């Protein structure tokens, strides 16, 4: 029986994790839950799963992780506010099932160096796919990692046609049902940019050997290319319960979590290059990832501010990337420490607010 602490229990990842656990109560026991502001749902979940420890907000979530013993901490909080809980999970010795990619990206080497080998198990579908493909080969035989991107709701559009995009249109993801921030990030391709940095940090592959291809069906979740020209791809229907369950039970699979692909009817899988002129986010993320230090934290913080401003009707859709670019250009990086991160993020949020103020 694995004891699970679930952070972000009220969100898309959190509720799907509880579905997996509910269907496999003989394998998993929830010993702690943390949420943000949705107290009603969190308390209902605690009652349903007999959970005694419940926390609200990121600081309480980190304290919960320090106080309650668990085998696995699933971090499904949104945003870089998840960094404290991520570090607490690593310090506790539990396996960290990581959906909250932002904490790894902003923390960079601070997070990686705190983790024991194999302690971080990715929940993000692309990184779960890569982790699965890597189980069968030597690391020295890896040529490239190829991340798939759905392309989002605006695939094929010109930049000019995106000027008047509404929040509702940006939230119409073609293949996944996710929270507001990641869905918006998928539409701008910022999500894929963050995932390139995430892949570099998780798998230690340099940025010039991490590629992105657009795959609108979201069936192939990513691939590993090996030095002999062979490629291993992981394929399954777009259902996050699969990578969630694998991370909770790593390295073992949980039977019957999802439906396999249907081979009795015709289907087509497409792959196409990313249009980096219209969607520059991946190239921007590669540059900030390679520059390192406080740059990834600033990139992420500026994006978080811009996304909220877009949904509040303060800025237009194209302003999201413009705000990030301007803030990143103005940044003077410092070496990584928790204090430096705190200062850089605070600076980036204030700077983003002042840039977006000029675009009202
Ligand atoms: N959804 C998906 O399919 C995927 C998600 N991810 C990643 O997983 C993470 C969660 O995404 P998703 O589930 O979609 O997001 P949601 O917006 O659906 O859920 C976010 C969760 O985080 C909680 N939360 C927000 N702020 C705080 C805070 N300050 N302190 C504590 N908890 C907080 C929310 O609580 P409340 O609702 O109570 O306020 C909610 O439980 C993100 O990092 C995302 O990038 C990665 C791959 C796929
Ligand atoms: C399900 C998942 O892992 C998301 O991060 C997904 O990748 C988003 O889809 P995009 O490929 O559109 O960013
Ligand atoms: Mn993903």
3-state secondary structure 258-283: CCCCCCCCCCCCCCECCCCCCCCHHH
- Model confidence pLDDT, tens digit, residues 211-226: 999 999 999 999 999 9
> Counting atoms of ligand 1 from 1, which one is nearest the CA of 8?
41
pLDDT value at residue 137: 72
Q: Is 243 in the pocket of ligand 1 (CB under 6 A)?
A: no
Q: Is 349 in the pocket of ligand 2 (CB under 6 A)?
A: no
CA of 61 to the centre of ligand 3 (A): 23
CA of 351 to the centre of ligand 3 (A): 28
CB 178 within 8 A of CB 123: no
Burial of 38 (0-12, 13-18, 19+ CB in 10 A): middle
C-alpha span between 197 and 199 (Å, rounded):
5
Main-chain phi, psi angles of 29, to 5 degrees: -130, 125
- Model confidence pLDDT, tens digit, residues 235-251: 999 999 999 999 999 99
Predicted TM-score of the model (pTM): 0.98
249 in helix, strand or coil?
Answer: helix
The mean of the pLDDT values for the chain is 97
Q: Is 37 in the pocket of ligand 1 (CB under 6 A)?
A: yes
Q: Is 236 in the pocket of ligand 2 (CB under 6 A)?
A: no
CA of 139 to the centre of ligand 1 (A): 32
125 marked as part of a ligand binding site: yes
- Model confidence pLDDT, tens digit, residues 159-217: 999 999 999 999 999 999 999 999 999 999 999 999 999 999 999 999 999 999 999 99
> Counting atoms of ligand 1 from 1, which one is nearest the CA of 183?
14
Structure-token pair, residue 36: 């943000």
* Atom 6 of ligand 1, nearest CA residue: 99
CA of 50 to the centre of ligand 3 (A): 31
pLDDT value at residue 131: 98
* Atom 14 of ligand 1, nearest CA residue: 179
State mean pLDDT over 22-27.
98
> Counting atoms of ligand 1 from 1, which one is nearest the CA of 41?
38
pLDDT value at residue 46: 98
pLDDT value at residue 359: 83
C-alpha span between 244 and 260 (Å, rounded):
16
- Model confidence pLDDT, tens digit, residues 275-293: 999 999 999 999 999 999 9
């Amino acid at each position: 029986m694995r004891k699970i602490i679930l952070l972000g229990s009220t969100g898309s990842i959190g509720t799907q994790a509880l579905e997996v656990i509910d269907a496999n109560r003989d394998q998993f026991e929830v010993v702690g839950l943390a949420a943000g502001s949705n107290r009603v749902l969190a308390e209902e979940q605690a009652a349903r799963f007999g959970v005694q420890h419940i926390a609200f907000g990121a600081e309480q979530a980190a304290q919960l992780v320090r106080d309650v013993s668990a085998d696995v901490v699933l971090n499904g909080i949104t945003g870089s506010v998840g960094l404290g809980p991520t570090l607490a999970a690593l310090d506790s010795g539990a396996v960290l099932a990581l959906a909250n990619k932002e904490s790894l990206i902003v923390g960079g080497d601070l997070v990686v160096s705190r983790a024991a080998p194999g302690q971080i198990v990715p929940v993000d579908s692309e990184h779960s796919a890569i982790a699965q493909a890597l189980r069968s080969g030597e690391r020295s035989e890896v040529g490239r990692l190829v991340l798939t991107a759905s392309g989002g709701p605006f695939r094929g559009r010109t930049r000019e046609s995106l000027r008047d995009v509404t929040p509702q249109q940006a939230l119409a993801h073609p293949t996944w049902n996710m929270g507001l921030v990641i869905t918006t990030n998928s539409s701008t391709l910022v999500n894929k940019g963050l995932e390139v940095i995430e892949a570099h940090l998780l798998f230690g592959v340099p940025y010039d050997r991490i590629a992105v291809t657009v795959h609108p069906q979201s069936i192939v979740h990513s691939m590993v290319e090996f030095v002999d020209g062979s490629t291993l791809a992981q394929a399954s229907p777009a259902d996050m319960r699969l990578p969630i369950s694998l991370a909770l039970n790593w390295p073992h699979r949980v039977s019957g979590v999802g439906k396999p692909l249907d081979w009795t009817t015709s289907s087509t899988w497409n792959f196409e290059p990313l249009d980096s002129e219209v969607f520059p986010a991946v190239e921007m993320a590669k540059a900030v990832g390679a520059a390192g230090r406080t740059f990834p934290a600033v990139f992420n913080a500026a994006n978080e501010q811009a996304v909220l401003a877009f949904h509040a009707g303060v800025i237009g859709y194209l302003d999201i990337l413009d705000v990030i670019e301007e803030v990143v250009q103005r940044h003077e990086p410092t070496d990584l420490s928790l204090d430096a991160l705190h200062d850089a993020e605070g600076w980036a949020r204030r700077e983003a607010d002042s840039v977006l103020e000029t675009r009202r």
